[in-house]
Amino acid sequence: MIPIAVQNEAVQNIPLSELFPFKNHPFRIVDDEAMQRTVESVSQFGVLSPAIARPRIDGGYEIISGHRRLHASQLLGLETMPVIVRQMDDDTAVITMVDSNLQRETMLPSERAKAYKMKMDAMAHRAGRPPLDNSGQLGRNFAGKESREIIAEQTGESARQVQRYVNLTNLIPELMQMVDEKKIAFSPAVELSFLTPEEQTNLLDAMEYGQSTPSLSQAQRLKKLSQDGGCDRMAMYAMMSEKKKGDLEKVTIDSGDLRKFFPKSYTPKQMHDVIIKLLTQWQKRRQQDLGEYYDLKKKQQSSHHHGNAHVLCNAGTGVACDRYGFGGVLHCGSLFRNRRSGN
* Per-residue pLDDT tens over the stretch 183-221: 999 999 999 999 999 999 999 999 998 888 999 999 999
Q: Exposed/middle/buried for 140, CB within 10 Å: 0-12, 13-18, 19+?
A: middle
Neighbours of 329 (CB within 10 A): 20
pTM assigned to the model:
0.64
Q: Are 24 and 169 in contact (CB under 8 A)?
A: no
CATH topology of domain 11-167: 3.90.1530
For residue 221, count CB atoms less than 10 angstroms from its CB and return exposed for 0-12, middle for 13-18, buried for 19 or more. Answer: middle
Q: Where would I find the H helices in 146-267? A: 147-155, 159-167, 173-180, 186-192, 197-210, 216-227, 233-240, 255-259
Quote the pLDDT of residue 171. 96
Predicted pLDDT of residue 251: 64
Q: Can you tell me whether residue 111 is helix, strand or coil?
A: helix
β-partners of residue 81 are 14
* C-alpha closest to that of 96 among 74, 78, 79, 118: 118
The maximal CA–CA distance of the chain, rounded, in angstroms, is: 98
E strands present in the chain = 11-15, 19-20, 51-55, 61-65, 80-85, 305-306, 309-310
CB atoms within 10 A of CB 258: 15
**pLDDT less than 70: residues of the chain:** 1-8, 129-144, 243-252, 301-343
What's residue 249's pLDDT?
52
Domain residue extents for the chain: 11-167, 171-245, 258-330
Q: What's residue 315's pLDDT? A: 37
Q: What is the pLDDT of residues 256-309, one digit of tens each?
A: 778 788 888 888 888 888 888 898 888 888 888 777 777 777 777 666 555 444
CA dihedral angle for residue 69, residue 73, residue 75, residue 78, rounded to 10 degrees = 180
Query: CB neighbours (10 Å) of residue 273?
Result: 12
- Using an 8 Å Cβ cutoff, are 209 and 329 in contact? yes
